[in-house]
Amino acid sequence: MLASIHNYYERLVLESIQKRLAGRDELHNADFVADLACLALNALPARYVRHSVDLWSHLGDAEQTALLEQVEAAVEQALAIIGRRQDRPEETPAPEPARPRLPWT
């Protein structure tokens, strides 16, 4: 039942990322794409739907264009954020304290 509910922007963001990274797949891994998608999606309003085609068919041309422009801007902003993070010098992380084992592990 709830599996059919999703954020409409997810597909649009992933399509935008795929277009931007086309031909550069070897430079990016799944973690990079996931981080990029999360940053972009967090910059967009939530728009939950059950059927994507229903939403798209009810939007006018201007609304469709505005939606796609919002997605492109969010992905561009996410790329800039990740780029700034990668430009920072690596900090040597402090060693993590030993964690107690959980009783079920």
Domain ranges of the chain: 2-87
Residue with tokens 């728009």: 47
- Strand partners for 7: 48
Q: What is the pLDDT of residue 89?
A: 60
Three-state DSSP class for residue 6: strand
Report which of 48, 35, 64 is spatially closest to residue 7, judged by C-alpha positions.
48
What pTM was estimated for this model as a whole? Answer: 0.74
Q: Are 55 and 8 in contact (CB under 8 A)?
A: yes
Q: Name the maximum alpha-carbon separation found in the chain.
A: 57
Residue 44 pLDDT exceeds 70: yes
pLDDT band at 2 (very low <50, low <70, confident <90, very high): confident
